[in-house]
Amino acid sequence: MKMIIALFAFVAVAVAAPQGEVTVVKSYENDNTGFDNYRYSYELSDGQQKEESGELRTVPGAESPSYVVRGSYSWVDQEGRAYTVTYVADENGYQPSGEHLPK
C-alpha cells in the first residue's frame, strides 16, 4: 500500500513540474507548384528557422532527371549562440556547410 501511495506521489510531482516555454510558429510559407519544384520556409519563436527549395533537373549522362535541393536551417543554443547550416543535395550527395562544421 505504501508503495502505491509513493508511486502516485511521484507521478503527481512529475506531472506538476513546469513545462517550459511554448514554441510558437512566427511564419510559415509553402509553395508547392507541382511535380518539378517546391519551396517552403518557417520561423519559430525559439529562434529555429528553416528554408528549402527543390527543383527537378536533367543531369547529363543520367537515365532520368533528379532533384536538386538547396536550403538552410538555424537554431540558437542554450547559451544564446546562433548556428546556421546551408546545404545542397544533388547527384553528388548531401553537402552541408557552416562556420561550426569541420572543413
pLDDT in tens, 30-86: 998 777 899 999 999 999 999 999 999 988 888 888 889 999 999 999 999 999 999
Residues whose CB falls within 8 Å of the CB of residue 39, separated by 6 or more in sequence, listed in order: 29, 30, 31, 32, 51, 52, 53, 54
pLDDT in tens, 53-65: 999 998 888 888 8
Q: What is the pTM of this model?
A: 0.73
Q: Where are the domains of the chain?
A: 22-97
Comparing 87 with 16, the larger pLDDT belongs to 87
Within 10 A of 90 (CB to CB), how many other CB atoms are there? 15
Residues whose CB falls within 8 Å of the CB of residue 58, separated by 6 or more in sequence, listed in order: 65
Instruction: Give the closest residue to 54 by CA, choosing from 66, 41, 65, 39.
Output: 39
